[in-house]
Structure formats: C-alpha cells, structure tokens
Structure 1
Amino acid sequence: MRQRRHDGSVVEFQKKRGGEAAAFFLPFLAPDMALLDVGCGPGTITSAIAGSVGKAIGVDIEPHATAAANQLAGILGLTNVAFVEADMIALPFGDATFDAVFFHAVLYHQSRTTLTRTLAEARRVLKPGGLLGTRDADVGGNILYPEFEGVHLALDLWQRWYEHGDPAALRFGRRQGCILRAHGFTPIWVGASYVNHSADAEARQEAVADARRSLLGLGPQLVNQALATEAEIQAALAGWEAWGRDPDAVYFRCRCECVARKD
C-alpha cells in the first residue's frame, strides 16, 4: 500500500492552494474573529485561513474529510483550528456564534431547497453584521487551449448533467450577489480568479486524471438518463488524453467570488 506523504513540499503546496482559494476573503478578516468554513473537505482552506483569525472551525458531512483535516492541522501545528462532522443544513452551533462564514465550491451544485436551507443556517450562526464569503464556479469564464473537440465535448457533458436539474447551475458564480441578497445578505465586494490546471506537466496530468475519474464516474448516469452516449464518453476521454500530451496546453477554470454582510 502506498503511504501518504506529508513532507515539507506537500504541506507547503496544500497551504498555498488553500491560501489562493481564500485570498479574496482575507482582507475582510481580523485576528479577533471566529470563522466557520462550511464544506471544508480535507481542511486545506480552513488551515490557510486560520492565520488570519482567532479561531477557525471547518465542518463537512464526510467523516473521512474531517479526519484528514484534523491530521493536516496537527502536522501544521495549528492550535486555533477544529473540524466537526456536520450537515450544512443543520449546523451544530448556536445563533450568532461566528463573525464570518466561508463557502468554497459548495453552493453551486445544491438544489434550490438545499441552498435556501444552507444560507438560512449560515445567516443564523452569523453575528449581526457578520461576513459571508463565497467562491464558486462559472463555466462561462473558463479558458482552454488547444481547443480539442473531445475536451469541449467533455465540458459539454458536465454541463448537460448539471443543467438537466437546473439550467442556471453552471453560471451560478456570476449570480452569487443577487442570490445572497435574496437570502438576507448585502453584497459588499465581488470579483473573480482562476484555478490553474496547467501550471506544469504534473498539473496537466493531474487535470487529466481528475477528468478521467469524473467522466468514468458520471458516464453511466449520463447514459442512463439519455444525456449522452457511450461513444461520447469515450471521445471525451480521448480528448483529455490528447490535451494532456500537449506541453503548451492550458486550462484555467473560473471562480467567481463574493463577500456579503448579514443584514
């Protein structure tokens, strides 16, 4: 069995990636704040934010995610971070507990009912005047080169899947401000940045591997719902393989960002 490595380079990479994801929110934070990171996953972002606040708590519904997050916090020697297994629509915290709540790549794929309940919970646990930071995808801002037909097909397949439930889902990022306003928050800042999946050869191969896992996992569901054919799935896989072999290939994935205040 391959052992998980936690040498200095791996930890620094995890900190850097988490810091980039939360960079837009950091200027709004202060050392005396308590922050909640909802849908924290393995804790890279929560751990990166911890240095800017007094206390940071990450919650995730998956126990393996919170276990990995606690392990990372221990390796980094963080004493002001904790991770809790919890559902974002039923947070185990009292009213007005936090000064800030953060969502990264969490809200855009939620149903309208779940989104409403999640934002209601975030509003409940925020103190009056507390801050909400969101960073989510928007397919309209992605940058791709070379524009292989198979890669465009892969992106279209993902779009078909998300749009069959909600036609506006993949353009959630640009609508964050109006969505938050409709749920009792006042947007005070908006922006955008990119996730770079092509910084070097290793990053490109990781992007291809991620695309392959996603297509193979989603493929049967697309086919079963008549949203794609098996031939399209195979063509999309071939497109990503071709993209990964090009040493000048780029894929920059857009993330829209919003900071809002609890009214």
Structure 2
Amino acid sequence: MITKVKPYLSAKADIQDDGKHLKCPIENPSEGLKANAYYFNHPEWAEEYLTYCHRSEAFRSRWMAAIGDWTDKVVLDIGCGPGNIYASLQGKPKLLIGVDVAPGSLDLAKKLGYVPILADATKLPFKSAFADIVVLNAALHHCDDMTAILVEAARMVKPGGLLITDHDPQLSAWNYKGLAKLLWNGRLLIYKITGHGFHKTNSQQQWGLACEIHHKPGHGVTKEFFTNTLVPEGFEVKVFPHNHELGAEVLSGKKGKAELKYRVGNFLSGRNPDADTSALSLMCVARKKVVESAAIV
C-alpha cells in the first residue's frame, strides 16, 4: 500500500505499513479522538453508518455537483469513516486515500477501494499541495479543533484543486434557546419513550454523543468560519446552507425545508425556521487559486 502514496509523502513522514493499514503515531490523543476511535471501530456501528448514513440520492446529487468528474484525480478523504463518500459516488479516481482514527472503519473503506491511513488529521504525513480534491463529510464537528483540521486539509490541495466539506451542523441553527434547549437536553428520554433515534442501545447512544464534539447548542460551523479560515490560505470560498434533502439544487441557492422538529426548535428559539441561518448544515466548496508567476521584464 505504501508504494501507492509514497510519491505524496513528506520527507519527515513517520508511517508504517502493518499489512492492513498505513499507520502514523498519534501522540496524546484527546478524549474526543478516543471516542471517535471507539465508536467507528465498533464493527456493527461502523457497518450501520456505512449502510444508512449519507447514502441518499440527494447526498449523491449534491456531492456530484460539487466535485464534478473526479476521474484520474488524486482524492483525499479526511475522516473517511467506513467510506460513505465513495460508496455513494463511485467513479474512477486515480488514487483514493482515506484518513481516519478507527481501524474498523478503515477496514470497510479499504474494501471499497480506499488506501487506508490511520492518522491524526491535524498532522497528516503528506507533502503540501498534492491532492486534486480534498473532502470532509460530517467530519469537522467530530474534531476537537475544527480550524486546525481545516487548515491542514487546505495545505493538501494543489492550486486549482477543490476542498469540499458538508454535513456539519450550522451553529446558528442548532443554538437552541429556552424551551427548545430544554427539549434538546431531554431528547434522549424522548427517544427512549418513543422508540425513535438512530442508535439502538444506550452504549451506542453514549459513544455516539461522545464523538459528536461540536454538534450541540453553542457549537457548529458558520460561513465566517469557512471564509476566515480558507481565504487566507488562498481559496475562493462558497458556502451553501441546506437541510439535507436537496441535491444539486443546493449549489444554486436552494436549501429545502427541515423536518418539523427542527423547524419547531428554531421557532421556539426565536428564529425564522425558513431563514438561511436556520438551515441545518453548511456545504463549503472552496477552490484554491492558481497564482500566476510574475512576468519577467
């Protein structure tokens, strides 16, 4: 496996091939990183995530519109999990590298065609500007330092290349107030009584919540977060609010309508449920500028 990525590794890369994955040492892992490693390493939970999460036609349409044709492109999927993006999009990239902290998820991603690398996404073992496309789907809010992850992702993108993120909670939509926050805090009991919710057991719920580090009131991403982080790194940045159920239309400014419970949450928080700031997620599509050399006089 290491031969596939060797041309793109930095001179100081500390990476080993154990026959299943490529591994970089992770020093002093945070509690959040440990929670992500535990949850996404659980074979049943990782398989469920691959099967049920981010696999809709709307997801595929939205991402296909953002990426375009990735045939023969070098693609880096940061926080790849079990490989949802490629499982949904398919295609024929030249090289598909998946980075994650959970070996169990990387096993599933490898079966789909990823070159799996276990590494801390704030310290990637690659040269700068090697990838045509860098993607992070539902990844930033799982990380302790979202800015550090985004800056490191930006470092990987070659001039003219794309950096795309999606499915991270928009801060202004999830920052519940008053009664809405009380309902949010009591949602686990409500799920237990009604039998609804993705997680099947209390343990799965506990670890799922532990790894959703920035998916809670007062946390999340904003348009300013993306522009303030990526513009200084040389990117042209476009941010699209949406409510998950629309596909390519999101890139033309449509956001769709959220489920009733989220609309009620925003209404009870004193916000217009139809406002852009009440959309559940932000998709960021950023292209790295090509800097032309100054003409020699």
TM-score when scaled to structure 2? 0.50
Letter in 1 for 2:282: C
Instruction: Select the residue among 185, 190, 196 that pairs with 1:153.
Output: 185
Structure 2 unaligned runs (5+)? 1-42, 188-208, 246-258, 264-278, 290-297
Q: Which has the higher strand share?
A: 1
The aligned residue for residue 64 of structure 2 is 26
The aligned residue for residue 163 of structure 2 is 132
CA contact (8 A) 1:119 1:183 kept: no
Instruction: Select the residue among 11, 17, 35 that pairs with 2:55.
Output: 17
CA shift, 1:65, in A, is: 1.9
CA contact (8 A) 1:39 1:58 kept: yes
The aligned residue for residue 7 of structure 1 is none
1-structure distance, mates of 2:241, 2:50: 24
Note the 1:75-154 alignment, pairs <5 A: 79=113, 81-108=114-141, 110-111=143-144, 114-135=145-166, 136-141=168-173, 151-154=183-186
Letter in 2 for 1:192: P
1-structure distance, mates of 2:130, 2:74: 8
The aligned residue for residue 76 of structure 2 is 36
CA contact (8 A) 1:40 1:60 kept: yes
Segments of 4+ moved more than 6 angstroms: none
The aligned residue for residue 184 of structure 1 is 233
1-structure distance, mates of 2:56, 2:157: 23
162 and 56 in structure 1: CA distance in 2 versus 1, 3 angstrom threshold: closer
CA contact (8 A) 2:223 2:239 kept: no
CA contact (8 A) 1:21 1:45 kept: no
180 and 24 in structure 1: CA distance in 2 versus 1, 3 angstrom threshold: farther
The aligned residue for residue 287 of structure 2 is 261
94 and 195 in structure 1: CA distance in 2 versus 1, 3 angstrom threshold: same
Tell me, yes or no, if structure 1 residue 58 matches structure 2 residue 90. Answer: no
121 and 249 in structure 1: CA distance in 2 versus 1, 3 angstrom threshold: closer
- What percent of counterpart residues are identical? 26
Alignment RMSD (CA, Å): 4.1
CA contact (8 A) 1:70 1:83 kept: yes
Letter in 2 for 1:42: P
1-structure distance, mates of 2:116, 2:125: 12
1-structure distance, mates of 2:56, 2:85: 4
The aligned residue for residue 6 of structure 2 is none
2-structure distance, mates of 1:12, 1:162: 20
The aligned residue for residue 169 of structure 1 is 219
CA shift, 1:100, in A, is: 0.8
89 and 13 in structure 1: CA distance in 2 versus 1, 3 angstrom threshold: closer
Aligned length: 188
Q: Deviations over 1:116-164 (max 9, x none)?
A: 432332233221121110122114336x9xx888533347xx9xx978x
TM-score when scaled to structure 1? 0.55
1-structure distance, mates of 2:170, 2:136: 15
3-state SS, counterpart of residue 169 of structure 1: coil
Letter in 1 for 2:68: L
1-structure distance, mates of 2:140, 2:76: 15
Q: Deviations over 1:186-223 (max 9, x none)?
A: 23432122247xxxxxxxxxxxxxxxxxxxxxxxxxxx
The aligned residue for residue 85 of structure 2 is 45
CA contact (8 A) 2:140 2:146 kept: yes
179 and 49 in structure 1: CA distance in 2 versus 1, 3 angstrom threshold: farther
1-structure distance, mates of 2:50, 2:218: 36
CA shift, 1:26, in A, is: 2.1
The aligned residue for residue 270 of structure 2 is none
Letter in 2 for 1:169: H
